[in-house]
Structure 1
Amino acid sequence: MNESFDIAIVGAGLAGTALACALCAAAASKSGPLRIALIEAKTMKSGWPECNEGIHGFDPRVSALTVASQAFLTDVGVWPAMTRQRISPFEKMQVWDAEGTGAVSFDAADVRAPVLGHIVENRVTLAALVNQLKQSPNIQTFDGQAVAHLHLPENPEDETPKLTLEDGTVIHSTLIVAADGANSPLREMADIDVREWSYEHDALVCTVSVEQPHQRTAWQRFTSFGPLAFLPLVTNTDDKNYCSIVWSQTGEKTTAAMAMNDEDFCVALSRAFENRLGKVTACSGRYSYPLQQRHAVDYTKAGFALIADAAHSIHPLAGQGINLGLADVKVLSECILAAHTRGQSVGDIAVLNRYQRQRKGDNLAMMSAVEGFKRLFAPIPLPLRWLRNSGMNFLQQQTKLKNRIIKYAMGI
């Protein structure tokens, strides 16, 4: 079977579904619909997840969505539906050094904003996007089918790029977008090099309950073993205090933490967090994954583009991964729609390079900032620790500089 489309998106995660929704939402009011294929190796689920109360009712995979990401999801048409499910706004952030007295705080009120961002379960965001795209007649989904082969012609003017799925279906598309994650098979098929290195850390994630209210604050403690974040979660009826945690440590320490029983883990976590919110009283199931930084040398080829984790992945300490991905989606969709309006091929390398120019520098800047922040809190001699603590305390007093940092992190 052969199918033809304007755009084929491979990967129906947050970035892939967001791109499909953005293209449909805008194209409907501009130059007519684009024919879009959305290809996902797993079976796609529609409908809303059960957001049950209690510690086991949360998705351990959450994202800290910035104000800029909220604005984009509003434009796409899914944010109102997300707010009717379960989102957790946070207004403040507290950061401190475990090895000294250095501390710095950030407050949305300082930049006259209602929130710094929202902690949202990934399944809620994904469900909103999938439900939205299911309403579009211009999107055809191919789920439960992995890509077996990618063909990018040397001269796209003479031949259309194509994908062959595992069941033999051939999809011809003017533009193919890889949104298939950090270990992107399509990136490898397209022969795009990537610079990568391991942080030699694993991230452990789960949901916990704590004795004291989280105060709509994101908390982050930097230890000599790695950062530990407590992210506030809001429930609809339960009066308990819940947080989503991300604990970055060496693989050996993460393995040990994963092997603990719940009681011992809660004690160890309380100690690592200095009981800042009282004791950790319970935890959900724990998950861990290795941390690596990757950055594709090129985001584009004629008829082909990488977005989100397929193009770049960073340490989760700043919570910026999904926000960078959604920024990619926003810019690429704008470039595609502008070309479509002009009657230009959406797979034209000139069109795609506009996307690369706008996003690559911003992504590199954020990746460099996160890498610098991580190295700043690596184990260092005592005199340098004193300088680090002094620097944090100095920053705490610099209102204008802090406000610039807040706005940069919020994407405004």
Structure 2
Amino acid sequence: MDDKRDLLILGGGLVGMTLALTAARRGVSSHIVDRADPADLTAEGFDGRASAISTASWNLFTNIGLADRLEPLGCDIASIAVTDQMKPGFLDFTPEPHEGTLGRMFANRDLRLALFEAASEEPLIAWHSKSEITERRRDEHGVSATLGDGRKLHGNLMIAAEGRGSPTRDEAGIVIAKWIYSHRAIIAGLVHEKPHNNVAWEIFYEAGPFALLPMLDLPDGSHRSALVWTVGEDDASGTLKLSNRAFLAEVTKRIGNIFGEVTSVGPRSSYPLGFHHTAKIVDHRLALIGDAAHGIHPIAGQGLNLGLRDVGALVDVLADGMRLGLEPGDAQLLDKYERWRGLDAFSVALATDGLTRIFGIPGKTASAVRRLGMAGIQRTPILKTFFMDEARGVTGDMPDLLKA
């Protein structure tokens, strides 16, 4: 007999798997389908990326029971330093002691392991890994996906969580606005002489931002940070091919002595940067979450957090509706989800795109204007508090799942 579940989630990355687990904690069942092998995704060295988890996103992980698994693996972000080319006039976002941290840094591998382990223990989640989808269907009676081995999975609501290149979104004909920045983000782990003191650095150069994100020390006490270095598309290949010594020399040229000597660099990888935003995030028995709906520049570290806000809002809407006797694919519920998430996601996307463009304007005059503006914000507590709350994700109409 077919195993019909409430949700049919297509895409088992960080956002898709968090959705499945969050839904299960509210009594909502799901199929989750992903083409990847979990063993590959959690292998050492598969993905050197790290993610900043905001206060609101950490509340979500706490509310779904992941905090104990993740707590020892995260590095607090105590403050954020923002500077234009390391010149005077920088911004220092440091909350008061009673306000807690600005977030936590986690290796993506650690997030995946925690999510995968929790999902494998949850009976309301049917996890279909290493599975290709050959057909998707949505009609008045429900949704289905046919897998490459002939199995057919059924649900009431289809969720597109496959990321930026979502085939489910494209097959549904949802209009998408997008452009590329002609830049690539180079990702690497750095080991350095001085402690980072839990400070995240965002250093803006004309070619793009140069971010240094605090990570936990190695077991031998060596200090670590994650590097996200934006370079022009034409320069990316050459930068990746630099010897470790030459690469570290370029890093040191851009950060000065803030970390002392940078002693080693881990494996390097890169990915292209672009912007996209869909005209709508729902269709008949279909909801989009995460990068399937909105892809933004990593300038403010909000990409994953934006997807987790989608998760919190969608599960809140569906669970509340199901308590009233509505089924998950009900058009009223999907409309509520779109109204809740559409404006917030669009606002964040525009803000990150605006920052990217403002800090990319070349010339001494533009730099001087930016530094004057940052100095003004530095002297205005109410503005600093606003930006810190935005970084924490604790502004606006928050889903209950994202509240402490």
Pair in the same fold by TM > 0.5: yes
1:339-383 CA deviation, whole Å, 9 max, x = no partner? 111110210121011111111111111111111111111133433
Aligned partner of 1:108 among 95, 104, 114: 95
Kept after mapping to 2: 8 A contact 1:48/1:128: no
**Secondary structure of the residue that 2:365 maps to in structure 1?**
helix
Kept after mapping to 1: 8 A contact 2:77/2:101: yes
Q: Please give the alpha-carbon distance, in whole angstroms, between the structure 1 residues aligned to 2:382 and 2:317.
A: 34
Count of equivalent residues: 394
**Secondary structure of the residue that 1:335 maps to in structure 2?**
helix
Q: Please give the alpha-carbon distance, in whole angstroms, between the structure 2 residues aligned to 1:364 and 1:47.
A: 30
Report the Cα offset of residue 40 of structure 1.
0.9
1:386 aligns with 2:368: yes
1:78 aligns with 2:66: yes
Per the alignment, residue 13 of structure 1 pairs with: 13
Q: Please list, as runs of the form range in 1=range in 2, the aligned pairs for 1:162-241 lying within 5 A after superposition.
A: 162-235=144-217, 237-241=219-223
**Secondary structure of the residue that 2:354 maps to in structure 1?**
helix
Per the alignment, residue 39 of structure 1 pairs with: 33
Report the Cα offset of residue 127 of structure 1.
1.4
Kept after mapping to 1: 8 A contact 2:92/2:378: yes
Mind listing any 5+ residue stretches in structure 1 that lack a counterpart?
Answer: 28-33, 51-55
Kept after mapping to 2: 8 A contact 1:67/1:116: yes
Q: Please give the alpha-carbon distance, in whole angstroms, between the structure 1 residues aligned to 2:136 and 2:32.
A: 15
**Secondary structure of the residue that 1:152 maps to in structure 2?**
strand
Kept after mapping to 2: 8 A contact 1:99/1:224: no
Kept after mapping to 2: 8 A contact 1:300/1:349: no
Per the alignment, residue 330 of structure 1 pairs with: 312
Report the Cα offset of residue 148 of structure 1.
1.5
Per the alignment, residue 57 of structure 2 pairs with: 69
Kept after mapping to 2: 8 A contact 1:99/1:385: no
Kept after mapping to 2: 8 A contact 1:196/1:294: yes
Q: Please list, as runs of the form range in 1=range in 2, the aligned pairs for 1:171-320 lying within 5 A after superposition.
A: 171-235=153-217, 237-320=219-302
1:25 aligns with 2:25: yes
Report the Cα offset of residue 326 of structure 1.
0.4
Q: Percent identity?
A: 29
Q: Please give the alpha-carbon distance, in whole angstroms, between the structure 1 residues aligned to 2:252 and 2:357.
A: 25
**Secondary structure of the residue that 1:357 maps to in structure 2?**
helix
Structure 2 vs 1, CA of residues 47 and 306 (structure 1 numbering), >3 Å: closer, same or farther? closer
Q: Please list, as runs of the form range in 1=range in 2, the aligned pairs for 1:71-150 lying within 5 A after superposition.
A: 71-84=59-72, 86-98=73-85, 100-109=87-96, 112-150=98-136
> Which stretch has the larger CA shift, 233-242 or 5-14?
233-242
Kept after mapping to 2: 8 A contact 1:9/1:179: yes
The TM-score normalised by the length of structure 2 is: 0.93
Q: Please give the alpha-carbon distance, in whole angstroms, between the structure 2 residues aligned to 1:78 and 1:49.
A: 20
Mind listing any 5+ residue stretches in structure 2 that lack a counterpart?
Answer: 395-404
Kept after mapping to 2: 8 A contact 1:49/1:124: no
Report the Cα offset of residue 46 of structure 1.
11
Report the Cα offset of residue 4 of structure 1.
2.0
1:281-323 CA deviation, whole Å, 9 max, x = no partner? 1101100000011111111012111100111110001000010
> Which stretch has the larger CA shift, 315-324 or 272-281?
272-281
Q: Please give the alpha-carbon distance, in whole angstroms, between the structure 1 residues aligned to 2:79 and 2:4.
A: 49
1:340 aligns with 2:328: no
**Secondary structure of the residue that 2:204 maps to in structure 1?**
strand
Kept after mapping to 1: 8 A contact 2:75/2:214: yes
1:49-79 CA deviation, whole Å, 9 max, x = no partner? 77xxxxx7x9521100000000010001111
Kept after mapping to 1: 8 A contact 2:210/2:229: yes
Structure 2 vs 1, CA of residues 46 and 333 (structure 1 numbering), >3 Å: closer, same or farther? farther
Per the alignment, residue 53 of structure 1 pairs with: none
Q: Please give the alpha-carbon distance, in whole angstroms, between the structure 2 residues aligned to 1:172 and 1:304.
A: 13
Q: Please give the alpha-carbon distance, in whole angstroms, between the structure 1 residues aligned to 2:9 and 2:289.
A: 10
Q: Please give the alpha-carbon distance, in whole angstroms, between the structure 2 residues aligned to 1:205 and 1:272.
A: 15
Report the Cα offset of residue 194 of structure 1.
1.1
Kept after mapping to 1: 8 A contact 2:273/2:297: yes
Report the Cα offset of residue 408 of structure 1.
1.4
Aligned residue type for 1:121: A
Aligned residue type for 1:263: R
Q: Please give the alpha-carbon distance, in whole angstroms, between the structure 2 residues aligned to 1:257 and 1:108.
A: 36
> Which stretch has the larger CA shift, 342-351 or 379-388?
379-388
**Secondary structure of the residue that 2:197 maps to in structure 1?**
coil
Report the Cα offset of residue 102 of structure 1.
2.8
Report the Cα offset of residue 47 of structure 1.
12
1:9-51 CA deviation, whole Å, 9 max, x = no partner? 1111111111111111122xxxxxx33111111123499877x
Per the alignment, residue 31 of structure 1 pairs with: none
Q: Please give the alpha-carbon distance, in whole angstroms, between the structure 1 residues aligned to 2:151 and 2:175.
A: 28
Structure 2 vs 1, CA of residues 379 and 48 (structure 1 numbering), >3 Å: closer, same or farther? closer
Structure 2 vs 1, CA of residues 287 and 48 (structure 1 numbering), >3 Å: closer, same or farther? closer
Coordinate RMSD, CA, aligned? 1.9
Report the Cα offset of residue 246 of structure 1.
0.1
